[in-house]
Structure 1
Amino acid sequence: MARRGGRATSRFSQRTCPGKVAESAVWLSLWLLLAPSAAEAGLYTASDQILLLSPGNVEAALINSTAAMVVEFYASWCGHCIAFSPVYKSLARDIKEWKPAVNLAAIDCAAEDNRKVCTNYRIRGYPTIKFFHAYSKADSAGLAFKDFSRDVRSLRHKIIDKLESHVEAWPPACPPLEPTSQAEIDIFFETNNVQHLALIFEDAKSYIGREVTLDLLQFENVAVRRVLNTEAGLVTKLGVTEFPSCYLYYPGGNFTRLPVNIEARTFYSYALQRLPGVVRSGRPPSFTTFFHINTTEEPWRPFNKSRVYMSDLESTLHYSLRVELAAQPVFKGEALRSLKKYISVLAKYFPGRPVVMNLLKSVNSWLQNETSGQISYEAFKDILENSAQIPNAALPEGVRWVGCQGSQPHFRRYPCGVWTLFHVLTVQANSTGGSDPLEVLSAMRNYVQNFFGCRPCAEHFENMAMESLMEVNSLSSAVLWLWSRHNRVNNRLAGALSEDPKFPKIQWPSPEMCSACHTVKENGEHRWNREQVLPFLLSYFSSSSILTDYLESESQILEKQKKKHVGQQLALLAQKPVERRIREALDSSKPPPSPQPTVQEEEEEEEEEEEGPQDEAVADEEEEDGGEAKPEPTPWSKAEVEAGRGWRLVHRKPSIVGMRMREQQEDIVDLDSFVNQHYRAKALRLAASSRVKQRSLQRQQEQEQEPRSAFELGMELDGGLGMVGLQPLEADPELDVGRQRKRLQKRELSGRFLDGELNHRGRWMSVLSIGFSKLDISLCVILYFLSSMCLLAMYLFFKNRLRLRRAKVALP
């Protein structure tokens, strides 16, 4: 019903109600001095299980609600309100299971927005508690608790009295609280479909029966009825001699007494909630074969509920250090300080195996020596993975939950592991004689605040820490503080969707685990025996009590780490050839540095470039003496590579130009290699041009000595322009046969060179590039641009004239 009421609240739109501004200067100063934090969030937060009222939701919560409402009207500056707030919070935790019938709320009347609401409900002093029945009318001002005690028990009894004062139709969400009779019990199973019926025998002034009835309100397959000691028929039939006492009644008249350590409300409620088949409303029923069924992604691991497992602790470290911390790529500021404190506490108090402790100490030493203002997670991960290969140091990878495993993959696990880890650390700090009682708790607080993935959980924990963490003044009180806050969280999460139905949230330790930890006050209220709780915690979380079942051996952990490092190194080595090929490809696209050849080498190179082309596999070589050209393969020699010519060719092999041995399947042009070849050919033509000039001067001198002849058309390639030119013929054809043969060979080689260049680069590119200088191309572009501008101007001029002529014709 509380959940239905919450949904109903969301249907109302938020409204802002302006409050009165008038306030005395004294009250204002007290408000500023005494409660600066209350101005931010009041005395209560959402983690206190108290509904915070405001002008936007007060009507939905108090008017026509299916649940009765208990509301505290307070002022955050009021000293009595501040002193009463812990009692009200304890009341909310105590009657949490009553929420379908009763809900607790609070409103800060010191807040300016809430002032009008408090005035409408006739609030004159603080704190004021009012009770609103279910289905209250809009004009209802509520029933005030007069002279209420600052005690949870008395407040609980007053709430029951107000519930029973309901005069209209009984709210369906509230169970029957009146005493039952033998006649009703005889036909109970005929009209109710439940598995267990609990009869609590008590006197008329006792509230235990009604309290237990409300405690079991959210559970199915069980019903609770109150039987007075004056109901002689049932008392005689069951042979009841003690009041209070609880009996389980079954169809056919069978009954048995409920076994509990102490005849009190808390023990009755706990025992009844653990009966077979009793589950929270909406939860699936429990099966006795659960522990033999694999209901998770991993095989179920049987475990002892009364022991701690090292596998849970190491799994928590793995997830914390490798998964949760990885969410922050860089640690700096408060996050870096929190990380250092967290690792320091682990290295100091974690009761791990030698390989794990060696690694934690290595990581802690590295962190403490880091003086920079920030640390990347990648650097932290290198140390965590032991990249430096420190001997006998490793943290197991993966999770293997045992005591923290849940019935489904989304239940328990890591949150359970975090609580267990910090319980162990607080106990270890107490056992080893730590100097600072807040060392472990502050590290946990900072870690949760900065790194814990569940942000609402982190906010709730921070609220608890702000409330009472500074009260811890000893190592033993630190152990008890963490235990009490863990129980508070269990109380808040009991019945939530995150609760594992197979492992319900209870006040731990249970009476079965530590019966001496539970006791009652003189008035019958439950009380924790802290003198027995502390020894139990010190024994339960002791390093000597931790079980090492389901763990991998240290040799297996080190072997896995070694294989991982070897695999990473092989992967890096495999990447190096790829990187080298990429680097060579990039270098090949750049013009190589030209070496400074000697004069003789330059002349030889120019001679070869003029006379014929060079190929990577085959090159033709001239024979001056024999007068015959013998083509034979001339691979690059070591001397040529050292001289520079071979170096250029070798480093051009990855490019398309260098791959001449492969057959060209498609007519595809590589623009980068094409540009490189274009400029290289241009350089060769310039060099050949200079050589031709020298040869022309030499021929001119020879012709002056010999008789001159007529000119005929020569087909030699002009090295400077690449065009066909006229060359002189010899006067006597038989004068020098060897020279003529040599000239013919030159012509053939020149034509072959030209054909090779045209075929490789594309004939159309050769036609465009041969015979035109840069000046010619520039003049063409300029003339084309000027002609375009002239045509455009003429077009605009005649278009304008035509428009003016048409306009004149249209005039009358």
Structure 2
Amino acid sequence: MFINHYKSFYSLTKYSATFFYPFYHFSLILCWRFILFLFLIIFIQNRETLAIFADYTTVPKGTNPTLYDAHDFVVQLDNQSFNDTVFCFDSTKIVSNTLFLDENTNNNSLNDSIKSNNNFVSGEVQSEIIGRCTSIIVEFYSDWCGHCRAYSRLYKALAKDLLAWQGVIKLAAINCADPVNLDTCKDSSITHYPFLKYFPRNSLEANLNSSVTVGQILRSYQSLAQMRDQITRVLLTEYEENRYEDWPKFEWLEDVETYNNLWKGIDTHISTLIVLFESNTNSLVGAQLLLDLSGYADKVVARRCVNNALANALQIKDFPTFAVFRRGERSPAYIAELRRLLLNEFEQLLRNDSKETSKRSMNKFSSRKKFASGSENIEQFCSNFPQICKRAYFVSELDLLKSARIALFNDVQMIGGENITGQNLRALYEFVDILANYFPHRTIHPQLRETEINGSQNSREINEFNEKDNIEFLNASSRARVVFRSFI
């Protein structure tokens, strides 16, 4: 009986194996295809990760408005592109990000704009510059911050002024008011806005468990000249430490005994050499000229020189002066004092700016002149009649509410962390107490705000002005004060 059952089981097993073999083979094929599919997905994801490298055309992710656009020559960063762009190390692994490009942005038009605004970058060098790791300056800002909005004008002008330096350094910005960038700004130890940090080329990302702050803090000077000098100094310091081969050669030119020594170490295909003679080693003019000419590295080599016998041989006594040498020629093709050239350009710029500034000042003054009752001194009028003058200055209620919310829910967490104790907790308590007691919740009635003070009104009529009966309470702001009080 046992044998019969065994034979029956054997026959069934044999039959089952014969019957299910095609399905087993098919399942095996599907399994291998699924594994290959997973590998493909992982590869694509890694490729996309490598592609998150921001450039001038990148549109950052987020919901908040930004202070810059693609034509400001400021690289806009977000939480995903920050590390790959700032901590760029191996340029061979970098692929320009096409995932977050604005579909309305025309790359060709942007390249044309770069060429038209940058007289120092040749076409041959342009493609090499784009795919190369550079040092980078990042402005951490908040879109609702008034100081940031005001500083953005200078930052845009600085980006265009230093566009010729893009092979060495680029300017970038990230909006810390956008929730998607909260972690990045928190990790960067941002304490105020606008906040500038200089990241050297090949900077390494800080370890999550490390207390080391990455990046060098820069001053947000209010003039282009001061910003340019500050950036030049940090670039010279970085060059002293790393001696990058593809950066301008900032070393001082050694004594030259013969004409051939002047061209020593310069590639034979370079036909032009520019030497800038300076009076002392503290001058930054020569370094800035080298950076301006860095886009022509395939055609021109520029060097700076101080206390050199070559200056005596050329009878150069005024500094800074530059000399242009052509390969094969024994004497310089051109010698000129650099400061005269810059002075002429500056005077021309000053004349143009003076007209525009005067025009803007007149327009601004004319728009507010009606509040002065014929007085030509707006400051004196506002000092005498503050109740009347303040009607010319008002701020959006929505902007105030938004700034308070971001300060409490974003900035406090970004600076103080998850657990706020000690002095930080006390400071937070005092801040919320101020909001609860003094957050603006009243406004002058719109009809009263539009009332004009004409020249027939005398000082007595103005001093008798009483706005108490025309006060309008703002419901949202009044409710906000109650909410602030509940926090305490």
Q: Give the TM-score taking structure 2 as reference length.
A: 0.46
**Higher Cα radius of gyration:** 1
Using CA pairs under 8 Å that are at least 6 residues apart, name the structure with larger relative contact order, 1 or 2: 2
